[in-house]
């Protein structure tokens, strides 16, 4: 079986450096906030071009900490795409705010700025006629204060921040970039992590930059926010360890994971190029073989981190047929995501229904992702495409 994400080949390449680095943490004894954590934060901030990179325990914690630092909580509304991983909207609910779902642009899979503007207007007018809103009473909707937008760089491709940031500024909302899948991606040379006033990423093993456990980071140029992130990360700590100035959590990145990430960062640029090369080869070969699918077209000036290589089949049945062919050829494929968040029972209390976000629902019924990682060979890419040949 071809691996969907090949972490073993990567480990074989960096094994001795990683083992030396981890052993040095074990022998050094600074398991919490050791020197590797500070070194990593410096390298991450240099890499993304942001003044601050604050490491934390996971991508979900990164989002929660960002929202907490903004003071987002009960009575607040945060706009999020419905076609994304659970954590994007879960973080909003975790701080007690209400996620307001928004449809996507089917060409990029990312939040549609036009739909976003309609949804913001609908919420301000407490009128779900022009865009679907939670089925709360008018009085309940009126109580909600719009505070922020979390745009997701889905599958590694940055969202349309030039329009999202402008719109949010005009509406007095803060933009948070969910860059969990897009570390390394860029728009006109500006890296993911630096595309909005606050960005969050994840170092879950299968993400573009992954550790060997859970981890995450928050990026910003704002000194005050960065200080809040650092405080919330450790129980709302003040200047002194036993002074608590706000409510926080245990949200630190382990020193061992920081040591792993320092080694992985060294090979990251090369891996990023190899993913990009594999994505190019996939689309060339798919087109040559006449496979009836659509692939993501990366907008001019953008580069995707290709966290996933995602295709759209003609319809649900065509997807099943293609996935059966792949399975017969021992090629794994995965559906990210089979159900949009507005239809998940976890958000059932919001009362959204089928038909609320047609593009997202349509994508859920047709998308599937192929093996994608930096250790794909031309032969394997060829084999995957040939398995789907008509």
Ligand X SMILES: *Cc1c(COP(=O)(O)O)cnc(C)c1O
Q: Give the binding site for ligand X (CB under 6 A).
A: 58-60, 84-85, 87-88, 152, 178, 180-181, 202, 204, 214, 216
Q: Is the peptide bond before 256 cis (omega within 30 degrees of 0)?
A: no
DSSP state letter for 108: T
For ligand X, give the closer residue by CB, 337 or 375. Answer: 337
Q: How far is the CB of 178 from ligand X (least distance, A)?
A: 5
- Residue 297 tokens read as 């077209």
Q: Which residue bears the tokens 């992130």?
A: 229
Q: How far is the CB of 143 from ligand X (least distance, A)?
A: 28
- Supply the minimum distance, in Å, between the C-beta of residue 240 and ligand X: 30
Question: Least distance from C-beta 337 to ligand X, angstroms?
Answer: 10
Distance CA 99, CA 123 (A): 12
C-beta of 253 vs 293, nearer to ligand X: 253
- Return the closest-CA partner of residue 302 out of 185, 195, 389, 220: 185
Closer of 180 and 187 to ligand X (Cβ):
180
Provide the β-strand partners of residue 104.
111
CB of 285 to ligand X, least distance (A): 27
Cβ atoms within 10 Å of 205's Cβ, excluding its own: 15
SS3 of 137, please?
Answer: coil
Q: Which residue of the chain is nearest ligand X when measured via CB?
A: 59
DSSP bridge pairs for 56: 216
Q: Which is nearer to ligand X, 81 or 291 (CB)?
A: 81
E strands, the chain, in order: 52-56, 76-81, 98-102, 145-152, 174-178, 186-187, 190-191, 198-202, 216-220, 293-295, 302-303, 309-313, 367-370
Pairing, β 309-313 against β 302-303? unpaired
**Which CB sits closer to ligand X, 260 or 381?**
260
The least CB distance from residue 50 to ligand X, in Å, is 18
DSSP 251: -
- Minimum gap (Å) between residue 11 Cβ and ligand X: 19
Q: What are phi and psi of 102, to 5 degrees?
A: -135, 145
Q: Which pair of structure tokens corresponds to residue 27?
A: 């022998």
User: Min. distance of Cβ 342 from ligand X in angstroms?
Assistant: 16
Contact 244, 25 (CB under 8 A): no
Three-state SS at 81: strand
Closer CB to ligand X, 60 or 122, in the complex: 60
Least distance (Å) between residue 144 CB and ligand X: 23
Complex with ligand X: residue 55 or 119, whichever CB lies closer: 55
Q: Which is nearer to ligand X, 99 or 141 (CB)?
A: 99
Who contacts 261 (Cβ-Cβ below 8 Å, separation ≥6)?
40, 203, 209, 211, 215
Residue labelled with tokens 């190019």: 280
Task: Tell me how far apart the alpha carbons of residues 268 and 263 are, in angstroms, rounded to a whole number.
Answer: 9
Q: Tell me whether residue 59 or residue 146 sits nearer to ligand X (CB atom).
A: 59
């Amino acid at each position: 079986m071809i691996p969907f994400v090949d972490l073993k080949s990567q480990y074989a390449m960096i094994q001795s450096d990683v083992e030396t680095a981890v052993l040095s943490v074990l022998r050094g004894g600074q398991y919490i906030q050791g020197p590797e954590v500070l070194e990593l934060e410096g390298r991450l901030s240099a890499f993304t071009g942001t003044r601050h990179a604050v490491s934390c325990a996971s991508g979900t914690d990164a989002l929660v900490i960002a929202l907490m630092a903004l003071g987002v909580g009960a009575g607040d509304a945060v706009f999020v795409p419905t076609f994304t991983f659970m954590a994007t909207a879960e973080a909003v609910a975790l701080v007690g705010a209400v996620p307001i779902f928004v449809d996507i642009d089917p060409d990029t899979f990312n939040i549609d700025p036009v739909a976003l503007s309609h949804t913001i207007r609908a919420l301000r007018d407490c009128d779900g006629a022009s865009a679907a809103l939670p089925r709360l009473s008018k009085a309940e909707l009126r109580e909600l204060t719009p505070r922020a937008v979390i745009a997701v760089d889905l599958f590694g491709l940055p969202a349309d921040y030039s329009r999202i940031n402008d719109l949010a500024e005009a509406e007095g909302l803060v933009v948070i970039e969910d860059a969990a899948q897009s570390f390394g991606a860029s728009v006109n040379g500006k890296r993911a992590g630096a595309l909005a006033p606050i960005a969050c990423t994840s170092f879950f093993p299968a993400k573009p930059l992954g550790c060997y456990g859970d981890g995450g980071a928050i990026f910003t140029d704002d000194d005050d926010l960065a200080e809040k992130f650092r405080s919330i990360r450790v129980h709302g700590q003040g200047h002194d360890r036993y002074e608590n100035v706000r409510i926080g959590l245990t949200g630190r990145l382990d020193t061992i994971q920081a040591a792993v990430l320092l080694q992985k960062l060294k090979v990251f640029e090369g891996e990023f190029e190899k993913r990009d090369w594999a994505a190019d080869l996939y689309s060339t070969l798919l087109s040559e073989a006449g496979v009836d699918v659509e692939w993501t077209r990366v907008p001019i000036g953008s580069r995707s981190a290709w966290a996933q290589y995602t295709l759209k089949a003609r319809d649900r049945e065509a997807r099943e047929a293609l996935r059966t062919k792949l399975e017969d050829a021992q090629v794994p494929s995965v559906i990210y995501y089979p159900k949009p968040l507005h239809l998940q029972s976890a958000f059932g209390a919001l009362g959204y229904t089928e038909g609320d976000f047609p593009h997202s629902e349509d994508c859920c019924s047709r998308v599937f992702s192929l093996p994608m990682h930096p250790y794909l060979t031309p032969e394997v890419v060829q084999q995957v495409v040939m398995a789907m040949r008509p």
